[in-house]
Amino acid sequence: MVRVGVDESLSDELLIGFPHDVEIVRIPRNLTDTIEIDFWILPFQRRDAAEAFSHLRGVKVVQSMMAGVDWITPWLPKDVTLCDGRGIHDISASEWVLAAILSSLKRFPLYRDMQLREQWKGQASVSDGFLNERGAQVGQYRVLGDDLSGKTILIVGYGSIGAAIERRLVPFGVNILRIARSSRQNPEVQDVSNLRRLLPEADVVVVIVPLTPDTRRLIGATELSLMKRGALLVNAARGPVVVTDAMVEALNSHQICAALDVTDPEPLPVGHPLWLAPNCLITPHVGGSTPEFIHRAFQFGAEQVRRFVAGQPLENVVTDAGY
């Protein structure tokens, strides 16, 4: 009988779809004894995963429920098959990106801050020339938010989530540029060597690459300086893909705006200058996490177990490229 390892606190509801002819083995936190399993399901970025793995025996497959597996590859032996969660984050992560873009363009974080201060006013300067009013009403209403329609969006990392982001953006009448590790057609995707050439064309740059040696520090001071002044950088990938110090400098000089679901370091410590950088929206790495995502994840996990039991090829097997 195939033994499937899951977290000790996992809800029984999430295991309903698993094959009845497998044994579910709950892996306790602070594991000290050895446990025999064949298939280990890691739902989240479990900090003690490497330590727990050292107590497991017989593991043939590790299934991550996260799209990124950079936190697993350093300690997992090469003879163990690793599968990632590609595809199951498409809905939640792409919806976060869309919400982040719209919230940033419409200046919702700024208006929320003003609401907390009980302030009713716009922030555009008098020299913007949109209104010719004089008197007490000046400054109460100003054109401030931008339209998404007509913007050029550069998606850096055009995989499963990148394609889902594009599907959600298309109804807004935007122009999409796409970059991936290698070029392809239908739709046109340019290879990463074109990044610096395309950055000046984009109003919004969405970063959704996996973290690998090639993508670490992909967006640094040079890349940020090539962005249009006031362009929006959206990082829904991993924090180290962007050079934090360079981003803080670009934010403080008003070169860019940013919407971040990931940071480097992470969690972002109290007092870090990124917290107070202007025009920066930060969420605590929650873009892919919704109740619906968790159900999709374990439906996928159950299907992977069925394939394993039947001796069929597994999906989402991670290659030497790191994804």
Task: Quick: pLDDT tens for 135-144.
Answer: 555 555 565 7
- pLDDT tens digits, 286-298: 998 888 989 999 9
The verdict on whether 201 is a catalytic residue reads: no
pLDDT value, residue 136 = 53
Residues of the chain with CATH 3.40.50.720: 2-88+290-310, 90-121+142-282
CATH code, residues 2-88+290-310: 3.40.50.720
Residue 262 burial by Cβ neighbours in a 10 Å radius (0-12, 13-18, 19+): buried
Q: What is the mean pLDDT of the chain?
A: 92
pLDDT number for residue 47: 79
CB 302 within 8 A of CB 22: no
Residue 44 pLDDT class (50, 70, 90 cuts): confident
127 pLDDT exceeds 70? no
Provide the pLDDT for residue 271: 97
Q: Which residue has the higher pLDDT, 21 or 48?
A: 21
Told to judge if 238 belongs to the known catalytic residues of this protein, a careful annotator would answer: yes
Q: Which CATH superfamily is domain 90-121+142-282 in?
A: NAD(P)-binding Rossmann-like Domain (3.40.50.720)
Residue range 115-136: mean pLDDT, rounded = 64
pLDDT for position 123: 55
- Based on the residue annotation, tell me whether 20 is a catalytic residue of this protein: no
User: Which residues does 261 contact at the CB level (< 8 Å), separation at least 6?
Assistant: 96, 100, 235, 236, 282, 283, 284, 285, 286, 287
Mean pLDDT calculated for residue range 97-119: 94
Q: Specify the pLDDT at position 145.
A: 86
Q: Tokens 């008098």 map to which residue?
A: 126
Give the pLDDT band of residue 132 (cuts 50, 70, 90). low
Give the mean model confidence (pLDDT) for residues 39-46: 84
Q: What percent of the chain is predicted at pLDDT more than 70?
A: 93
Q: What is the reported pLDDT for 143?
A: 57
Inform me whether the pLDDT recorded for 253 exceeds 60: yes
Catalytic residue among 86, 107, 181, 238: 238
The kind and range of the H/E element at 280 are: strand 280-282
Q: Above 80 in pLDDT, residue 61?
A: yes
pLDDT digits (tens, 9 = 90+) for 135-170: 555 555 565 789 999 999 999 999 999 999 999 999
- On the question of pLDDT at 284 being above 90, the answer is yes
Which contacts (CB < 8 Å, 24+ apart) does range 245-253 have? 246/219, 246/220, 246/221, 247/219, 247/274, 247/277, 248/273, 248/274, 248/277, 249/221, 250/221, 250/224, 250/225, 251/277, 251/278, 251/279, 251/280, 252/277, 252/278
Selecting among 201, 266, 303, 315, the annotated active-site residue is 266
Q: What is the average pLDDT across 168-176?
A: 98
Q: Which of 86, 178, 181, 285 is catalytic?
A: 285
Which pLDDT score, from 0 to 100, does residue 23 have? 97
